[in-house]
Chains A and B, each alone.
Chain A
Amino acid sequence: MGTTVTHAPAMEGLSQDSEPRHGPVKPARPAALKRRRRRENLAGYLFMSPWIAGFLLLTAGPMVASLYFAFTDYNLFDAPKWIGFDNFSEMFGDPRWRHSVQVTLWYVVVGTPLKLLAALGVALLLAQKRRGQAFYRAAFYAPSLIGASVSVAIVWKAIFSDDAIVDRTQKIFGIDVGGWTGDPDMIIYSLVALTVWQFGAPMVIFLAGLKQVPRELYEAAEVDGAGKLRRFWNITLPMISPVLFFNVLLETIHSFQIFSSAYIVGGGAGGNACGPADGSMVYTCYLYVQGFENSRMGLASAMAWMLLVAVALVTAVLFWSQKRWVHYEEGAR
């Protein structure tokens, strides 16, 4: 916004106005100006209207409704019945709910750092000039593009199920634990592997960050005799910490919301939707079960809002923590 104000005179020349102007704009003809502005605003709103309508109908409306349902007993058929905080107290007393919280936290705490490590590692390799660089970048990014799709989850299930390629490879090394997806203790690892494999998006952001680090810093450090590790630790990491923060934030929020891959790898159609013995029952999976299998939309709404609160809290903590480890350039903040 600030920019628009400072550059206003220059921008005028670019406007569609046919009348050529000389010198600064005089506050003449305020009525005409107002009318023109109003017309412009109207056009603006008109162009925005599909988005506004979509937002009101598909986002804001359902959110308000869901907030209301969170305090009701609602089975889709009968009118919602106001029950205050009962859904929330039921939630906390439900061992299955607590289990789903545990599984999700485990997934976030283990999966997110691993994914970011993979992204940073590959970004460091790809930041150097080498032949076929563009190809490698595309190749590593590709899984992220198709990552959210159902088909990938199905393929993943095929890879990690009993007597499939992973199981057979394990057997060559004498490890016979069966497939991962059928094992309540192992299935979550296959989900972590799936998310780590999709490191492309944070990788691209890391790459951009790495490009921004001034070369002189490395040259200076080299002159001072700093080794590779030292240069990474004392220059690269602090310099890209804003980017790192961004990635940590985004990926954490993203991890909390894992659903489709867990739902499909964990069973999807047929049997328990949340993996053997609830082994892959992440939070949203249980939410889905309560909402669509048990027809308890009120409880499911309450769960959804609980997730929102939890993610907001985690985000707040991350923002608070950034003072300690994220370095912005002097004056940039």
Chain B
Amino acid sequence: MVNGRNVERRTILKAAGATAATLGLAATTGCGGDGGASADGTVTIRYAWWGAEDRAQRINKTIALFEKKYPKIKVKTDFQPYLDFWKKFNTQASGGNPPDVFQNAIGFLRKYDAKNVLLDLSEQAKAGNLRLEGFRAGLEKFGEIDGRLLGVPVGSNSMALVIDKPVYTRAGVKPEMGWTWDDFDAAMRKIRDKTGRAGDSGMYGVMYLYDLYLRQNGKAFFTEDGLGFTESDLTDWWTKAKKGVEDGRYADAKKVAQIKPKSAVTGELAAGEFTWDNFTVRYTAEGKSEYALAPIPTTDGKKTGQYLGSLMLSASKRTQHPKEVAQFIDFMVHDPEVAKIMGYDRGVPATQAQYDAYKPTDEVNKAIAAYEESLVEAGVLEPITPHPNGADICESAFLRIAEELALGKRSVDEAVKQFFTESKTALGS
């Protein structure tokens, strides 16, 4: 009896072991080896991006289109808001399990390149799975670092000044391409005096605007491995900005912080603010007034220091399906139908084919297109300055410390010192 039971147990164990082994084998053939390809050769790739519900709906439509064209490739998506996206991505990537393809931005290129996460897509381009021609304004080089292609741009955008048009009109200010910082300053005074509203929401913490200002003066925010400006540069910038708040040209920082996440412009605290041009869509949805795009002020009446910024698609070095990922990226940046679905959600489409396919009909998107065209016409666009590994941490430090300064929690000198200390740690220099 006892013996019999033992035998029985052993048999069960053996059977269980065998099953486990088979399952294990099945799992290996399923996930390892030729990598996620199921019996009929269908592969699944994971695609992660940041954004909100509205973008999700558009992206799902483009994926449906892609899966129709490539029936052997399935795409699984995953999205979060911007900050949460990077936290999750970071954790996944460090665990060796990043998504196969994901939305990326210039501030993260070197960071994840240094951590060996990004796939060099030039191999796939050579193999013909990814076309690199047809990009607008030299954008095809955008995601290139040291000769390796680490990202492919999907859309471009540029810094702009978003204004509350009726307020500007009431104050009698008409910003024009080539206006100087002195003109801008005079305009801020006029708006404050004539309309009782602050002219700007406070440019303290807009890292990308400060970058333009530096570029107008022959410097830049970042060099390849560090900061491209000195403590005294930043002291000047933040002193000017602080004075602007004190005399009412820029909005009260406390109120601006209070109404977050609503913007100071739509919250009617300020007549304008500097931001990316494709964000204009948000203002129209959020506020009651009419909003327009104005050019960036200059130092010498000509140079704005502007460049096209861009969202990119990057692939993971660990992906089992580099070919399929390349095909996916190729489809997303070149297919005209995709542009019709996405619109200017991720900026103006990066390829000429997509740019031509989508002609905006609504006022906001028309304004964005017109703005970018005006930049090309004025010939102010320059190549982007590199962002070193750690740039993302510098940016959030810049944003935070500028806010502390604006809220009166720090003096200019303290703020500058703090920023440089934190940046040195972040950039490892």
Binding site for B on A (CB under 8 A): 75-78, 95, 161-163, 178-179, 182-184, 269-273, 276-278, 292-295
Inter-chain contacts of B84 with A (CB < 8 A): 269
A to B CB contacts below 8 Å, 24 in the list: A77-B93, A77-B115, A77-B117, A95-B418, A178-B254, A178-B255, A182-B259, A182-B260, A183-B254, A183-B257, A184-B404, A184-B407, A184-B409, A270-B83, A273-B83, A276-B257, A276-B260, A276-B407, A277-B257, A277-B407, A293-B83, A293-B396, A294-B426, A295-B94
Inter-chain contacts of B393 with A (CB < 8 A): 293-294
Inter-chain contacts of B218 with A (CB < 8 A): none
A75–B87 CA distance with the chains assembled, in angstroms: 13
Inter-chain contacts of A292 with B (CB < 8 A): 87, 90-91
In the complex, the chain A residue whose C-beta lies closest to that of B252 is A178
A206–B117 CA distance with the chains assembled, in angstroms: 55
Interface presence of B403 (CB below 8 A): yes
Task: Tell me how many residue pairs across A and B have CB atoms closer than 8 Å.
Answer: 72
Interface presence of B400 (CB below 8 A): yes
Inter-chain contacts of A272 with B (CB < 8 A): 396, 399-400, 403
Inter-chain contacts of B87 with A (CB < 8 A): 292-293
In the complex, the chain A residue whose C-beta lies closest to that of B114 is A77
A170–B65 CA distance with the chains assembled, in angstroms: 54
A76-B90, A292-B90, A293-B396 known; A277-B81 Cβ under 8 A:
no
A270-B81, A270-B82, A293-B393 known; A278-B257 Cβ under 8 A:
no
A277–B407 CA distance with the chains assembled, in angstroms: 7
Instruction: Give the contacts of B254-269 with A (CB-CB under 8 A).
Output: 254-255, 257-261
A295–B81 CA distance with the chains assembled, in angstroms: 18
Residues of A contacting B: mostly:
loop
Chain B 80-100 per-residue mask, 1 if CB under 8 angstroms from chain A, else 0: 011110110011011000000
Chain B 31-43 per-residue mask, 1 if CB under 8 angstroms from chain A, else 0: 0000000000000
Interface presence of B116 (CB below 8 A): yes
Q: Please pick, from A75, A184, A270, A278, the residue contacting B261 in the complex, using a CB distance under 8 A.
A: A270
Query: Contact: B90 with A183, CB < 8 Å?
Result: no
A293–B83 CA distance with the chains assembled, in angstroms: 8
A312–B93 CA distance with the chains assembled, in angstroms: 35
Inter-chain contacts of A277 with B (CB < 8 A): 257, 400, 403-404, 407, 409
Counting from the closest, the 7 A-B pairs by CB-CB distance are A76-B94, A182-B258, A77-B115, A162-B258, A178-B258, A277-B404, A276-B257
Inter-chain contacts of B399 with A (CB < 8 A): 271-272
Inter-chain contacts of B261 with A (CB < 8 A): 270-271
Chain B 395-423 per-residue mask, 1 if CB under 8 angstroms from chain A, else 0: 01001100110010100000000100000
A179–B87 CA distance with the chains assembled, in angstroms: 29
Inter-chain contacts of A76 with B (CB < 8 A): 90-91, 93-94
Query: Contact: A271 with B254, CB < 8 Å?
Result: no
Inter-chain contacts of A161 with B (CB < 8 A): 258
A76-B91, A269-B81, A295-B90 known; A278-B255 Cβ under 8 A:
no
A78–B90 CA distance with the chains assembled, in angstroms: 13
